[in-house]
Chains A and B, each alone.
Chain A
Amino acid sequence: MSNFLFGRYLPGNSWIHQMSPQSKLMLSFYFVIIIFFANNIWTYGTLSVLILFVVLMSGVSIGYFLKGIRPLIWLIIFTVLLQILFSSGGHVYWHFGPFSVSDTSLINGGYIFVRFLLIIMISTVLTLTTTSLAIADGVQTVLKPLKKVHFPVDTLALMLSIALRFVPTLMDEMETILNAQRSRGVDFGSGSLRHRIQAAVPLLVPLFTGAINHAENLSTAMEARGFTDSEHRSKYRVYRWQKKDTISWIIFLFVGILILFIRNN
């Protein structure tokens, strides 16, 4: 678990670290969309080169990066296998009952593999280079247009930033409770399924009561500091659009157009 890189922040000062979170969020979203336009070896190649470039720019060592996303590989392989075994068409090499392997299913499986990898890589770069609070701010900026349809963007952003801020706190608490119950003789993660579910009770009850206490204390403290509603607030952290954002967008837009040209229609 400690090697798991997805969703963590790695402090740094690279080009990508310095970009504004809203543009990073939108760029990742845009990149995921262009991935779905790719449909041949050239388009996937172009996107792979781009993502490699992005990883290099983020200042994270490639070896460590690959090691960090390795835990997700099983999920990908599982999906790819389903794709290979169940899709039909093309020249069939082997079949048994509902399963069959053909040249098209192999190619499609390969594409899905690359597609997954690209999506995971771009989102890992996003979370590695952006603090969770910056992501919450970014989401707020990106969702701002939804205010027109009375969607509570500010409340959502507040909830998101509180939730993100409490993730490590609750993780720490869980660790402590886990250890406390272990030293009282609870065996976590062994025995029958029934036994395991029962073993979770001494962990979950204190975790929930702790969370409720946190919520109570936090809301009192917020009120005491003059918080009335999540609208009508000024902002302390302001992330401005920078030159770096513009340049990154130009590169990504260029690659997007390139993809539209070299994909086979």
Chain B
Amino acid sequence: MDQEISFNQVTHTYQADTPFAQNALDKVSLKIAPNSFTAIIGHTGSGKSTLVQHINALLKSTFGEIEVYGRQITPSTTNKNLKQLRKHVGMVFQFPEKQLFEESVIKDIMFGPKNYGASDADAEKSAVKAMKLVGLDASLRDQSPFDLSGGQMRRVAIAGVLAMNPEILILDEPTAGLDPHGHKEIMDLAQGLHDHRNMTIILVTHQMDDVVDYASDVIVMDRGQVVKHGTPSQIFADPKWVYKMHLDLPSSGEFATRLIRAGVPLEKTPLTIENLADEIVHLIQGGNHTDE
């Protein structure tokens, strides 16, 4: 099945026709390839979250149409029959631990599959699998989700989305407020889902290091418009432009530009720590060569 996500001239206005009207998306056209790991970045209020909520039709466009998973969503699409679409598109909201409500962890994770008609036994099976996937200890299954730590709660929430076996997974700042360890675990989980399960991952983030470490595609948004779409190295090639978009370089790129400014002749701006290390090694060895 064609899993491509395509936006065609999508405009979204909040509270249209009132003095409170606000244009959140302005004629956005883009395509997200199947099985890609796409990061969406941009200044706060640039329309990232609005954009991703269109993908599983939680928001509908004011103009323009969206095609997701072979299904067309137009401004006149009714709320009926969207359930099947939402089964394919899993969405992890910011601070997803806020959505927990059941009396036990396992019941909460089973909630999604059961809504899509799975039997209790099947739902439990996929819930146990999802718990393992996110690294939750099996002993937690009968505990109340409200007794868990913040990081564990977030994992329960993510497991609740993964238990529905979505093909497309949208993560809206999944690591906000987590410690560095939890941060890495969640990001590695996303990468594992992408690499081993062929999920299409869409990540909304402010962490440029995650963008270069994990994403294959980057969409840059500014004031409701897509201003650039490309690979991380294309996006971060022009530091001046990046700063103009109120974004940062990834930390190794930041460090490299300072080295360059201090007179160290690096050939190109490295994006990851590995690249940076390679560049420096290359430079030193190159220097040695001229010495000899």
Q: Which residue numbers of A lie inside 8 Å of B, CB to CB?
A: 2-3, 10, 64, 173, 176-177, 179-187, 190, 201-202, 205-206, 209-210
Contact = CB atoms under 8 A, between A and B. Distances in A.
A50 B146 CA distance: 56
B60 to A, nearest CB: 13
Given A176-B93, A180-B96, A184-B115, A209 B146 contact: yes
Contact of A206 (B18, B99, B164): B99
Interface of B: 14-15, 17-20, 53, 56, 58, 80, 83, 86-87, 89-91, 93-94, 96, 98-101, 111-112, 115-116, 146, 160-161, 164
A154 to B, nearest CB: 32
Main secondary structure of the interface of A (DSSP, over half): helix
A64 B160 CA distance: 44
Contacts, number: 64
B111 A202 contact: yes
B90 A210 contact: no
Nearest to B58: A179
Most buried by B among A182, A187, A210: A182
A185 B58 contact: no
Contact of B161 (A177, A184, A190): A184
Contacts of B93: 176, 179-180
7 contacts: A173-B98, A180-B98, A183-B91, A183-B161, A184-B99, A206-B100, A209-B146
A187 B91 CA distance: 16
A132 to B, nearest CB: 16
A135 B91 CA distance: 39
B86 A183 contact: yes
Most buried by A among B14, B19, B90: B19
Contact of B99 (A10, A180, A201): A180
A64 B17 CA distance: 9
Nearest to A176: B93
Nearest to B80: A190
A206 B98 contact: yes
Contact of A185 (B53, B83, B96, B146): B83
A186 B115 contact: yes
Nearest to A4: B18
Given A179-B93, A206-B98, A185 B56 contact: no
A156 B71 CA distance: 53
